[in-house]
A and B are shown apart, each in its own frame.
Chain A
Amino acid sequence: MRGLLAFAALLVAVIAKESFEGHQVLRIIPKNDIQLSLIKELEDMIHFELDFWRELSGVNTPVDVRVPFHSLQSVKIYLETQGIEYSVMIEDLQMMLDEEQKEMMSAAHAPKPRNTDSFDYANYHTISEIYSFQDMLVAENPNLVSKTVIGQSFEGRPLNVLKFSTGGTNRPAIWIDTGIHSREWVTQASGTWFAKKIVTDHRRDPSLTAILDNMDIFLETVTNPDGYSYTHSTNRLWRKTRKPNPGSRCVGVDPNRNWDAGFGGPGASNDPCSQIYRGPRAESESEVKSIVDFVKSHGNIKAFISIHSYSQLLLYPYGYTRTPVRDRPELDRLARKATTDLASLYGTRYTFGSIINTIYQASGGSIDWAYNQGIKFSYTFELRDTGRFGFMLPANQIIPTAQETWLALMTIMDYTLKNPY
């Protein structure tokens, strides 16, 4: 009895870990219909245990097949005698898999940055890496930085806001959000860089020090964490939230069409499958509602800046209507100055103007809502580039983008400080 059990255990162990040792992946290219049918016949030879990775399609179109070691000789002889061209794509599948495993293990064990000085700002990071960064930054700068969780995403992730403050009670404040559209990776990366920049420049840069002497800065880096996580795990081009829509197979709401500004009007969609789906009602998304609640209860936000990519634009309200905002001349002047300052670093050209004139009509947008709340200095950035790489901006452009954008942000924050209202 015991022997039987042992045997069964061994059998299970052997079957459980399938080995591809000596297996090869061949690329076969049928040159004509005769060869096509010969390959089809090969498919039917079950004893070869062939595993087609890319199936028969047509003449001159490759067929990729994994051939177990025991069939290799026979299959190759078959192909050669029939004059069927093939090449060896993978010489030893198990070896390749082992290599891959090793690589994945080493990546997982990559040394985690021990402090924010050794954090790699010139690279894109996962949500957990960014959240760890935030905690480290707070730990390293307890007198300047604190973290507030303003709510939870649909899938239960914390919505983290970093507060930069030198004290006071409910000082006038600046709000900055990045990553509300998850695929705009340069924005979350820039937000991370901004956070570090603030602690680095505080007490070194007079302008920033003056700002922080009188105002607070709130920075939400991963404004759409569910979407961001999805762009890492599944779909790099995901934009919306990840909340399912009842009655539809399509997931998600465009968080920048979900604000209560012109909601329901043209410039958004009613279709859950649309990339600009506004949602069932304004503020239906917790990612949006959390910010709304935070801003309203704070009551003293003086500038509200949402950061997106791409297109190289600096935009002020409105997006939902052609009616110009009352403060248009001032916002326009400030935008001109900010984009000039941005360009001074690397020559990056930005266009500025109202959303609806410059890019398109968009309803339910964050800065339209913020402006209507009385936050005069409401701006949206669209960062690099203008379409060559688009959302997939090379990582080596993260820091230059963040640096130049920071100049524009400083211009806006400085102006906000010097022009209280």
Chain B
Amino acid sequence: MFPLWLRLYLSRDKSRTLRPKSLRVWKPIPAQHRSFCSHFLHYFLSHCPQNEVFSEEEGAEDVMATGELNPNHYPAQRAAKVVQHYLTTRYGSPYRLFGLQRVHSGNAEDVGDSGRKYQLEIAVHEIISNTTQKCSAEVFFPHGQKQESPQVQASCEELLNISTKAQEEALYQQYKMNQTLISAQNLPDSHGHIEPDTKPLWHLGIVASSFIMLKESNENTLYNMAQVANITQLATENDQLKFDCHTLLHDMVSQVNTHNYELLDALENGRKSKLFP
């Protein structure tokens, strides 16, 4: 049974991995639309996301280790981070968030030409209850022409034992019953500060971003969410909550920050509002 709030925008389909029902996601503006960006997005941002290019063509050494991995080195660490994102998409909520505590062991093997499979023993930290769980996970990175999301399987000891249902229900009621629609910017702010009553929104942003970070991950990335630039509740006519999110993701390897726009729930007509005339 999913926590209530997750039910609001996710639906389970028959396949193993969850597909968010109406989590529409816009990719960062690709290079060819840069001029669009510089006019439109300029009103949002103090600068346009630069054309982020990690030049693979420089002959980057791509010697990926196979066999037993050093758990502290980057190949195992990057795969383990993917597991963190996966767990957050599956089990995350405003009251349940995961961090990678430690990699105990890792193993990698090529699967023919189709990709590489990692087996990991990791310790996962549930941040809000401050508890640590051991997990066994398998991450498969497909090697195709274009980016394909990794496939993850994970089994953890007692990940859902901490019940967050009551808090989630209370939050849902609070947001639903509010006279004004809640909105917050810059979570955290430049000084790392987050107002206590906007923390659940920050957590929401992390969960939403985790879908994208999971999708965009490969063996040459290490994603974290840098900031929720803006999260705004939108009115709905039904029981669902709807949020408009603009988040900034940071990739440690290319050092790139990508802007991502997520609408948690149904899209009306797919157009973004301009914030300034």
Contacts and interface: CB of A to CB of B under 8 A. Distances in A.
Interface of A: 27, 29, 31, 51-55, 57-62, 87, 89, 123-124, 185, 231-232, 234-237, 239, 250, 254, 265-271, 273-276, 311, 322, 349, 351, 353, 357-361, 386-395, 397
A269 B192 contact: no
A386 B63 contact: no
A78 B58 CA distance: 63
A271 B55 contact: yes
Interface string B44-67: 001100111111001111010000
Nearest to B47: A235
Interface in B11-68: 46-47, 50-55, 58-61, 63
Given A58-B268, A269-B58, 7 more contacts: A60-B234, A60-B268, A236-B190, A236-B227, A239-B255, A276-B255, A359-B74
Nearest 10 pairs between A and B by C-beta?
Answer: A387-B224, A394-B192, A275-B255, A57-B273, A58-B268, A266-B60, A273-B50, A273-B51, A58-B269, A351-B72
B95 to A, nearest CB: 15
A57 B272 contact: yes
B191 A54 contact: no
A274 B273 contact: no
B250 interface: yes
Contacts of A124: 190-191
A275 B273 contact: no
A46 to B, nearest CB: 14
Contacts of A265: 58
B188 A392 contact: yes
Contacts of A357: 70, 73-74
B188 A389 contact: yes
Contact of A388 (B46, B127, B253): B127
Contacts of B55: 269-271, 274
Identify whether the interface residues of B are mostly helix, strand, loop, or mixed: loop
Contacts of B191: 123-124, 392, 394-395
A268 B59 CA distance: 11
Residue of B59, B127, B268 most packed against chain A (CB within 10 A): B268
B195 interface: no
A394 B73 CA distance: 27
Contacts of A268: 58
Contacts of B248: 237
Interface of B: 46-47, 50-55, 58-61, 63, 70, 72-74, 81, 99-100, 102, 127, 179-181, 188-193, 224-227, 232, 234-237, 242, 248, 250, 252-257, 268-269, 271-277
A45 B257 CA distance: 42
A379 to B, nearest CB: 16
A394 B188 contact: yes
Contacts of B255: 239, 254, 275-276
Nearest to A349: B102
Contacts of B192: 389, 392-395, 397
B54 A269 contact: yes
A390 B250 contact: yes
Nearest to A359: B74
B241 to A, nearest CB: 12
A267 B127 contact: no
A270 B234 contact: no
Given A62-B181, A271-B55, A322-B63, A390 B275 contact: no
B73 A358 contact: yes
A54 B189 contact: no
B273 A54 contact: yes
Contact of B54 (A87, A254, A274, A353): A274
Contacts of B180: 27, 87, 89
A271 B202 CA distance: 33
A29 B50 CA distance: 34
A269 B59 CA distance: 11
A152 B51 CA distance: 29
Given A60-B235, A359-B252, A361-B61, A250 B50 contact: yes
A54 B43 CA distance: 11
A61 B268 contact: yes
A351 B73 CA distance: 8
Given A266-B59, A395-B192, A273 B73 contact: no
A54 B188 contact: no
Contacts of B59: 266
A26 B53 CA distance: 42
Contacts of A322: 61, 63
A311 to B, nearest CB: 7
B237 A271 contact: no
A276 B273 contact: no
Contact of B234 (A61, A390, A392, A394): A61
